[in-house]
A and B are shown apart, each in its own frame.
Chain A
């Protein structure tokens, strides 16, 4: 994901950003044509021309990253400073998104919250990639008992409605942001494990694996050095597809009072704060953080679809 998150120098256009992403994904094609990189780039350019929406999603993604990195330095007000003199003011020039019941500037809070929400999403997706990806690859590659144990764990997690399980985990382990990240990762585990397993399974007797084995590589070396890099493109697509779900899950948990505690600025908790004012007409307190959440999820979903089109054109719907 770092390849996407680093916009590099200046402000690249969405197209350039897309090409960088593809370049990062490029070393992977299982079919080893020597035109791999060039072909992928051409394909990416074709996709972007065909699908302006993906370009738009990349631009939006950069904006979110920017808000997450620089947000706290850019906002006009302290997100935690309350000023009851201006409490519950509707959006105005001084307060673009209005103020909440304590007179805090909603705009500043929404922007500052980007970092925390983005961090939760990235961290949980990275964690589930490590857990699910490695377990799945091991299951697919080794088969037998490893496969059965991983499969059984995944099935057990799948037997729960996912959000409910996440609630139970956070409540049991303790009400912290780390546990939100962990719970979100755990409920996504089956998805990652299954994809990694399927992808690793078809490659266990592939030519390059046999070649590596013939060279005297051990199983672990082959899994980490050969199989895992080869299934990376599919996994990266999966990561950007689940980012949206991860953010929704985390915001949902904090909406019901788990994880992030007030007065921390976080989208879910801000919507919960504003919920009581919705019935009395002060819509802006809940609306703007909710809209920010929606835009972020929308962006991740579009991005995921776009990446999938580039990496795996056959699964395009």
Chain B
């Protein structure tokens, strides 16, 4: 098992190198002169020249790349033009908000999609099966920002059940002392039940939006994979041995059907991390997605670049985690590796 993880870690290295090269190239592709761009519209020629030297833009491209990598190794993602703050600090402060939202979205989606897929597979052509098909087709067709807005309209404006879609906490509350950065966990650690409920209320709609969005591929894959496994000999044997249907479906069939579902999770994460940006904009969520959108509007490139890099590194890490999970779920993968 450790050998497999190590091997898989080595395989992530080329991906990371590719990611760093692409994000570097993205800054060099900036329209016009980056030095003039970073100096701002009111800068004099000397000021631009000075910035060019300061940014190392007068050096050949490979030296610039070397410097970029060296900065990265020190955790330096540059400074934001608008706030003057280091991008890395800003991203570190905002990351927990995004992570909490995305993870909860994924949990919501798994809680709905997996049982739905299993039920659809155990009763083909039943109402549940048709519902599963309709939901998974509709789910991929719904623009995620649109779902979010509809939920806001129904649950905030019409029903008044949800709080205003304005960030992580209502203005009457102050954030819990930061331990994990996840308000749900931090408020529990602080023993503040009221605060927990308040942050949960803010989280429900955006998490549900993300959940609905990522439901379709998971439900579809669970159904297909379960159908294949349920037709296998060992399931028939288990049934013939008189095991309870629930035991057969959940402990025997589902564990074997999980690998393709986990594989889909990789793709789901790609969608979720992207959708996160849109959902954060709809719900004024103070995560790294809205940080990137604010930077976009202000034409502030360093934060955006830091954001793209952070997202890509996280995505590579998640894929790594998924591969390690294979080994935990399916011992055969370990032997092959």
Contacts and interface: CB of A to CB of B under 8 A. Distances in A.
A155 B18 CA distance: 8
A257 B273 CA distance: 18
A215 interface: no
Interface in A145-161: 152, 155-156, 159-161
B307 A164 contact: yes
B22 A271 contact: no
27 contacts: A152-B14, A156-B22, A159-B15, A160-B22, A160-B308, A161-B270, A161-B311, A162-B270, A162-B271, A164-B308, A167-B296, A171-B304, A174-B31, A256-B296, A258-B296, A268-B145, A274-B149, A275-B145, A275-B282, A278-B152, A279-B156, A279-B164, A283-B153, A290-B145, A290-B150, A294-B142, A297-B143
A161 B19 CA distance: 11
Interface of A: 152, 155-156, 159-169, 171-174, 244, 248, 251-252, 255-258, 268, 271-272, 274-275, 278-281, 283, 286-287, 290-291, 293-294, 297-298, 301-302, 317
Nearest to A255: B145
A174 to B, nearest CB: 5
B129 to A, nearest CB: 12
Contacts of B138: 298
Across chains A and B, which 5 residue pairs bring their CB atoms closest together, nearest first?
Answer: A163-B274, A156-B18, A290-B146, A161-B273, A298-B141
Nearest to B223: A317
A281 B154 CA distance: 10
B157 A160 contact: no
Contact of A160 (B141, B165, B305, B315): B315
A167 B282 CA distance: 17
Contacts of A162: 270-271, 274
Contacts of A278: 149, 152-153, 157
B141 A297 contact: yes
Interface residues of B, number: 56
B312 interface: yes
A167 B308 contact: yes
B296 A156 contact: no
Given A244-B141, A280-B157, A294-B143, A164 B311 contact: yes
Given A164-B307, A165-B308, A301-B140, A286 B149 contact: yes
A282 to B, nearest CB: 10
B316 interface: yes
Given A164-B307, A294-B141, 14 more contacts: A152-B14, A162-B270, A163-B274, A164-B274, A164-B311, A171-B296, A172-B26, A256-B296, A257-B297, A275-B282, A278-B149, A293-B146, A297-B142, A302-B137
B275 interface: yes
Interface string B15-34: 11011011100110111000
A274 B140 CA distance: 22
A170 to B, nearest CB: 9
A211 to B, nearest CB: 39
Contacts of B153: 278-279, 281, 283, 287
Nearest to B314: A161
A287 B145 CA distance: 11
Given A161-B273, A164-B277, A297-B141, A290 B311 contact: no
B29 A159 contact: no
A275 B164 CA distance: 13
A121 to B, nearest CB: 13
B107 interface: no
Contacts of B278: 163, 252, 255-256
B200 interface: no
A271 B308 contact: no
Residue of A155, A165, A171, A255 with most chain B CB atoms under a 10 A cut-off: A171
Contacts of A317: 220, 224
Given A167-B296, A167-B308, A298 B137 contact: yes
